[in-house]
Amino acid sequence: MEEEFEVKESGNFFDFKGFLIKVISFWPLFLLSLAIAFGVAYYKNLKKLPIYSMSNMISIKDDQNPLFTGNTSLVFNWGGTTDKVQTNIVLFRSRTHTEKVVKELQFYTNYLKQGEYLLEDVYGFTPFKFNLNDRFPQLYGKRITIKDLGNETFEFSIPFSGGNVSLFNYSDLKFSTAPAPASDFVQQFKLGDTIDLPFLKGVFERTGRRGTVGQEYFVNNENFNSKVKSYNRINISQKPQGSSILVLSMSGTNKQRLIDYLNTSVKVRERDQLERKNLFATNTIAFIDSSLTKRNVELEGVLDELNTFKNNNIDVALKGGSEQLSNKLQGYDLQKEEVNRKINYYNLLEDYLLNRKDYVNVPAPSVAEIQEQSIAQSVNRIVSLSVERSTYAYSAKEGNPIYNELDRKINAEKAVLLENIRSSKNILDDQIQTINRDIVRAENELKKYPAGEQKLSEIERRFKLSQAAYNLYESKKSEATIIKASNVSDLLFIDPAKDVGNGPVGPNMRLNYVIATIIGGLIPLVFVFLLVFFDTKIGNPEEIKILSKIPILGVIGKSVYKTSLVVKDNPRSSISEAFRGIRSSLQFLYKSKGIKGAKTVLVTSSVSGEGKTFTSMNIASVFALSEKKTVLVGLDLRKPKIFDDFELTNETGVVNYLIGDATLDEITQNSSLPFLDVILAGPIPPNPSELLISDQMKVFMEALKEKYDYIILDTPPVGLVADALEIMPYADASIYMIRQGYTKKAMLGLINEKYRVGEIKNISFVLNYFRTKGRYGYGYGYGYGYGYGYGTYGNGYHEDMKRSGLLKRFIRKIKKRFKK
């Protein structure tokens, strides 16, 4: 009949419903965790300073100087508005640009005062400001306390104790040290004073804000790189998307810092952009200046020579034919000078293209009066690409594909420009040869005139040539200077950053409470999950079904009574009903197996403490209440217990019978319950196992069957000794006790193996100490048809003791968990 009790093996599962009920059972822990999390969030919100958002708006234009055409303009062409917008977005976020702004504003100096909960940034709201002399190292890593004494007088105090003090030069970004005073430094300064200390140099400037007498401020110089990094987070957006209008915004706790940084950032970028825009003009002026110096020396030398000649040769003068020839030669000289100037520029440009990689310093073609549109445009494009390549050094690493693309464009433009240069130089060489022939013919005609006139003509030719060259360079310098002076930046302020009284945009107090809710709920949830995951003890019938094919006969709830004889003393309790359910299941079992006459039940477990003796006594009691002659036999010869609960003496018992020292009647004792007799184990023998397997044991069982309807055998735990296994052949049904939250899952391995090989038959599980509310995640019914010994399911039918309060049970539950 084994098949009737065989349960199919279930697969792995996770009981979400049971887990959820278990979670609910720990609701006090969730409340405590949430209360702590909300308390922390509230405390953090109290300590947070308001966060403000400031912004400004600029436009990127494509302003060209209207005074000059494309051929003559020395203004650097960036390549159109679109390129300018993207380039400026990159540069505004670059580290190099941020360093310039931080240095200009000296944002590495912090101005603080004590707020209600923490130090507050009061930059822009103090009656003073340090203007540090960046040429000198400044105090670093020390806080300066500045106390307002009134009348524009302030007391400086810096803690010192000898040794050396750290200094930092914000100009070259280098650390150094200086001897520190032997004790605290205390000295008074007035607004406007120049501070000249070995460790601090600058001007203690007025800001125009009124101070409060007695107010203390704290000033310290921070790490430069850290400060730059903190400001390298400017937000830039195009309004609308893709347009040339940019909105720069930042968030922080100090409005004035945000305003100053945003506006100064635009001014620095505007200054740098204008400098780039004037690149041609600047380079051309430098080139002209060097040429003017040479021409000036040459002109002064020729002028002295001409004056000397005229003073020594007063009667020599050019007239008639010699004057006409001299003027003609001067014209040829000017033509030749103009051609040579172009050839020299082409040679200079060719040298740049062939021997250099940086082309940003090439002077404009207009300085040599080169009118070829293709040459001017090619030079402009090469310089533009070279500047763009150097610009990406702020944001892209070497080896970036963008460099390869720019180099490809530069090389392509270079090839075209070099070809145009060679072509132009060939044309100019032909012009030089023609001019040289004209000069030779004119000089041969001049040789017909007196030597004095020839000499005067030669000196005047050189003077006119030097003077014309000097005047040309002066004109070109003036042109470049005017262009540079008249240029404006392509960056136009639409709306500078300004405090218009907008309130804070943060911190997000609600976010902290949301995070507190998540964390406060997650921690106990993980705790409960870990309890379930690492729980090695059996918690409910579903786990038993997974762990074993042995069927479950019944479930007994947790007893809240002091007595173990619950059926006898509290017959209407839910525990008693659970035993009645087990009695019904046993009777069904006996009937299905066709067992008639006396029926035997063996009760065992894995280890002690799982309730086998408790179950044995109450099963015996419930059979006796049905007016069936029942005997409870204590076969745990090593550790007898039954006698205490029935208030009997353990002087004689099974041991006496098995050794032939007493008869069955002599060892049988009456309980206080009608139809129930008790046979105790008797004195502890030295050889309990041998007694239980003796022939006398068989005689003993036969004698009991002749006298009683039901025989209940209370045996030792099979996980500790083999006694119960020796007795099982005498039993018509065996009950294997499992205690909820006590019996370990691994303990079922032995009984499972013996059941699998057929060594044990007719065995069933009974789950004891079962609690249905919360702890193990199960409610009031499983569909097994068992009785449950706990809960409110039987309200009105059972007389159960009132349970203790929720808080007491929760505390007791946690204590038990930690004890385990």
Bridge-based pairing of strands 710-714 and 599-605 is parallel
Question: What average pLDDT does the chain have?
Answer: 83
pLDDT-derived band at 814, boundaries 50, 70, 90: low
Q: Do residues 466 and 563 both lie within one domain?
A: no
- Give the domain-ending residue among 202, 224, 246: 246
In the chain, pLDDT over 70 holds for what percent of residues? 87
User: pLDDT band at residue 808, thresholds of 50, 70 and 90?
Assistant: low
| pLDDT score, position 777 | 46
Residue 803 has pLDDT above 80, yes or no: no
Q: Do residues 251 and 78 make contact, with C-beta atoms less than 8 angstroms apart? A: no
Q: Encoding tokens for residue 168?
A: 């930092």
| Helix (H/G/I), strand (E/B), else coil: 169 | strand
Residue 161: both structure tokens together: 């104790």
Q: Answer yes or no: are the C-beta atoms of 453 and 316 closer than 8 Å.
A: yes
- Does the global pTM surpass 0.85? no
Q: How many domains does the chain have?
A: 4
**What is the pairing mode between strands 733-739 and 668-670?**
unpaired
> Residue 10 pLDDT more than 50?
no
Q: Is 257 part of any domain? A: no
When mean pLDDT is compared across 35-44, 222-231, 558-567, 794-803, the lowest value belongs to 794-803
Q: Give CA–CA dist 653/677, Å, rounded.
A: 12
Q: Is the pLDDT of residue 649 over 50?
A: yes
pLDDT band at 813 (very low <50, low <70, confident <90, very high): low
CA distance 421 to 297: 31
SS3 state at 105? helix
What are 508's two structure tokens? Answer: 């997000």
Asked whether residue 58 is domain-assigned, the answer is: no
Query: Residues 387-423, buried b or exposed e (16+ Cβ, 10 A)?
Result: bbbebbeeeeeeeeeeeeebeebbeebbeebbeebee
Whole-number Å distance between alpha carbons of 155 and 146: 6
Residue 384 lies in a domain: yes
Residues 208 and 290 in one domain: no
Contacts of residue 141, Cβ cutoff 8 Å, sequence gap at least 6: 166, 220, 221
> What residues does 419 pair with on adjacent strands?
none
686 cis-preceded (ω within 30 degrees of 0) = no
Amino acid identity of 96? T
List Cβ neighbours of 115 (8 Å cut-off, separation of 6 or more): 49
**H-helix or E-strand spanning residue 523:** helix 509-533
The verdict on 466 and 576 lying in the same domain is no
Confidence at 453, pLDDT banded by 50, 70, 90: confident
Q: What is the token pair recorded at 296?
A: 């000036």
171-180 long-range contacts (CB < 8 A, ≥24 apart) are 171/134, 171/135, 173/224, 174/137, 175/140, 176/137, 178/137
Single residue among 246, 269, 300 that ends a domain in this structure: 246
Scan for tokens 């082309």, then name that residue.
359
Per-residue pLDDT at 73 exceeds 50: no
Rounded CA separation 252/235 (Å): 12
172 and 298, same domain (yes or no)? no
Paired strand residues for 633? 679, 713
173 pLDDT higher than 70: yes
Displacement of CA 740 from its chain's centroid (Å): 44
Weakest mean pLDDT among 43-47, 194-198, 294-298, 393-397: 393-397
Residues contacting residue 6 through CB under 8 Å, at least 6 positions apart: 549, 551
443 has a pLDDT exceeding 90:
no
Residues 759 and 618 both lie in one domain: yes
Query: Do 87 and 180 sit in the same domain of this protein?
Result: yes
Instruction: Report the 3 state secondary structure along 5-68.
Output: HCCCCCCCCCCHHHHHHHHHHCHHHHHHHHHHHHHHHHHHHHHCCCEEEEEEEEEECCCCCCCC
Residues 266, 487: contact at Cβ < 8 Å? no
Q: How far is CA 316 from CA 171, 308, 330, 451, in A?
A: 66, 13, 19, 10
Predicted confidence (pLDDT) at residue 348 exceeds the cutoff of 80: yes
Q: What is the per-residue pLDDT across 531-548, written as a single tens digit (0 to 9) for each?
A: 877 878 888 888 888 889
Instruction: Give the E-state strand segments of 671-732 in sequence order.
Output: 676-679, 710-714
Categorize the per-residue pLDDT at 223 as very low, low, confident or very high, splitting at 50, 70 and 90: very high
Sheet bearing 164-169, strands edge to edge: 138-139, 164-169, 174-179
Residue 7 included in any domain: no
pLDDT exceeds cutoff 90 at 709 = yes
- Tens of pLDDT, residue by residue over 713-747, are 999 888 777 788 888 899 999 999 999 988 888 88
- Output the pLDDT for position 337: 84
Q: Please, what's the b/e burial string for 223-254 (b: 16 or more CB within 10 A of its CB; e: otherwise)?
A: ebeebbeebeebeeeeeeeeebebebbbebbb
263 within some domain: no
As given in the structure block, the two tokens for residue 693 are: 């397997």
Give the C-alpha separation, 570 to 367, whole Å.
119
Sequential DSSP letters for 204-273? EEE-S----TT-EEEEEEPPHHHHHHHH---EEEESSTTSSEEEEEEEES-HHHHHHHHHHHHHHHHHHH
* Dihedral pair phi/psi, residue 412, rounded to 5°: -65, -40
DSSP E strand boundaries for 315-419: none
Residues 528 and 548 occupy one common structural domain: no
309-327 pLDDT per residue, tens: 878 887 777 777 778 888 8
Question: How far is residue 169's CA from residue 134's CA, in Å, rounded to a whole number?
Answer: 7
Q: Which of 49-53, 211-215, 463-467, 508-512 reaches the highest mean pLDDT?
A: 211-215
- Two tokens, residue 351: 């040298």
Contact 616, 632 (CB under 8 A): yes
Neighbour tally for 820: CB within 10 Å = 10
Residues 6+ apart with CB under 8 A from 143: 158, 159, 218, 219, 220
Which has the higher per-residue pLDDT, 813 or 449? 449
Report residue 43 as tokens: 């405390």
What would the mean pLDDT of 552-560 be, rounded to a whole number? 89
107 falls within a domain? yes
Dist CA 579 CA 556 (whole Å):
7
With a pLDDT cut of 90, the percent of the chain lying above it is 39
User: Looking at the structure, do residues 590 and 622 belong to the same domain, yes or no?
Assistant: yes
Instruction: Identify whether residues 19 and 123 lie together within a single domain.
Output: no
- Structural domain containing residue 211: 81-246
Q: Is the pLDDT of residue 785 over 60?
A: no
For residue 575, pLDDT beyond 70? yes
Q: How confident is the model at residue 152 (pLDDT cuts 50, 70, 90)?
A: very high
Q: Are residues 671 and 727 in the same domain?
A: yes
Q: What single-letter amino acid sits at 502?
A: N
Per-residue H/E/C for 718-775: CCCCCHHHHHHHHCCEEEEEEECCCCEHHHHHHHHHHHHCCCCCCEEEEEEEECCCCC
Number of C-beta neighbours around residue 178 at 10 A? 14
Q: Judge if the upstream peptide bond of residue 507 is cis by omega within 30 degrees of 0.
A: yes
Domain-embedded: residue 723 = yes
What span, in angstroms and rounded, lies between the C-alpha atoms of 737 and 735? 6
Do residues 525 and 545 both lie within one domain?
Answer: no
Residue 578's domain is classified under what CATH number? 3.40.50.300
Mean pLDDT throughout 686-715? 92
Using CA atoms, how far apart are residues 124 and 132, in angstroms rounded to an integer? Answer: 16
Are 462 and 604 contained in the same domain? no
pLDDT tens readout for residues 250-302: 999 999 999 999 999 999 999 888 887 777 677 777 777 877 788 788 888 88
CB 421 within 8 A of CB 350: yes
pLDDT score, position 274: 82
**Cβ neighbourhood burial of 492 (10 Å; 0-12, 13-18, 19+):** middle
- pLDDT tens for 603-636 read 999 888 899 999 999 999 999 999 999 999 999 9
Q: pLDDT confidence of 790, banded at 50, 70, 90?
A: very low
Rounded to the nearest 10 degrees, what angle do helices 401-446 and 373-391 cross at?
140
CA atoms of 139 and 177, how far apart (whole Å): 9
Residue 296 lies inside a defined structural domain of this protein: yes
